[in-house]
A and B are shown apart, each in its own frame.
Chain A
Amino acid sequence: GENVEQHPSTLSVQEGDSAVIKCTYSDSASNYFPWYKQELGKRPQLIIDIRSNVGEKKDQRIAVTLNKTAKHFSLHITETQPEDSAVYFCAASPEGLGTGRRALTFGSGTRLQVQP
C-alpha cells in the first residue's frame, strides 16, 4: 500500500520568513495530494491540494509543488504569520474508479511554530 513520509517533524521560523515542508510517497497510482492544517484543539482542514497533471499550485501565501518522477511534493508558506502556527499534514491517494484504495494516506505531521 501507500506510504507517505513527511519532514521535518517540527519547524520553527521567525515571522516573515518562509517555511517548507516536504513529503515523499511510494505508490505511483497516487495522483491526488492534499495538505491539511490542524490548529490546536481543532479538526484538520484542507488548505491546498494538487493533482498530478500540474507541477505547482499557488494560493496567496501558500504553494505546493509536485515532482511525480521523484514521488515527492512540498508545501511552501511565504511571509509566515503567527496564525500559521499549527500542525500540517500531507496526504496522498488515487482518484478515479479502479485506481486503488480510495482513502487518504497521511504523513506523520509537521508542527510549525512561527515566532513573532
Chain B
Amino acid sequence: DVKVTQSSRYLVKRTGEKVFLECVQDMDHENMFWYRQDPGLGLRLIYFSYDVKMKEKGDIPEGYSVSREKKERFSLILESASTNQTSMYLCASSLFRPGDTEAFFGQGTRLTVV
C-alpha cells in the first residue's frame, strides 16, 4: 500500500513566519507534487519535482519554495507566511511510467495564518 505522509494535519502560524510543510512517500516514486486546495478552485499546483534536487514551478508558485534533497521527501516552504496562504495543502506522489501514473495523496495539512 502506497503511503504518503504529511508531517502535520493542522498548523497555525503567524504572519511573517517561515513555515515548513513536510511530505514523505514510501514507494520510491520519482514524481512528487504540492497542491493547494481552496473551495471552488479545485487543486492548484504549486510546485512539483521529478527527481532529487529537481523542481519545477506549477501554476501558483509565488510566495513558496520547495526542497527535495532525498527521493522520498519533498518539502514546501512558505518564506514569509501571509493570511492569503491560509489553505489546505496536499502533497502527492506518482511514478512516471506510461500506464501507471496514478497520483497518491497525503492526508493534507490545514494551514491557518493569523
Contact = CB atoms under 8 A, between A and B. Distances in A.
Interface of A: 1, 6, 9, 32, 34, 42-46, 49, 51, 89, 93, 95-97, 101-109
15 contacts: A9-B40, A43-B107, A44-B90, A46-B102, A89-B42, A89-B43, A95-B101, A102-B31, A102-B50, A103-B45, A103-B56, A103-B58, A104-B103, A106-B43, A108-B42
Interface size class of B (residues with CB under 8 A): 20 to 34
Contacts of B41: 108
Chain B at the A interface: SS class: loop
Given A9-B40, A108-B42, A95 B98 contact: yes
Contact of A105 (B45, B99, B107): B45
A9 B43 CA distance: 14
B42 A109 contact: yes
Contacts of B50: 102
B20 interface: no
A47 B35 CA distance: 19
B91 to A, nearest CB: 10
A103 B44 CA distance: 11
Nearest to A6: B42
Contacts of B108: 43
B45 A102 contact: no
Nearest to A90: B42
A44 B105 contact: yes
Nearest to B91: A43
A46 B101 contact: no
Contacts of B96: 97, 102
B42 A93 contact: no
Contacts of A49: 102
B105 A32 contact: no
Interface in B87-114: 90, 96, 98-99, 101-103, 105-108
Contacts of A93: 101
A51 B6 CA distance: 30
B33 interface: yes
A7 B32 CA distance: 28
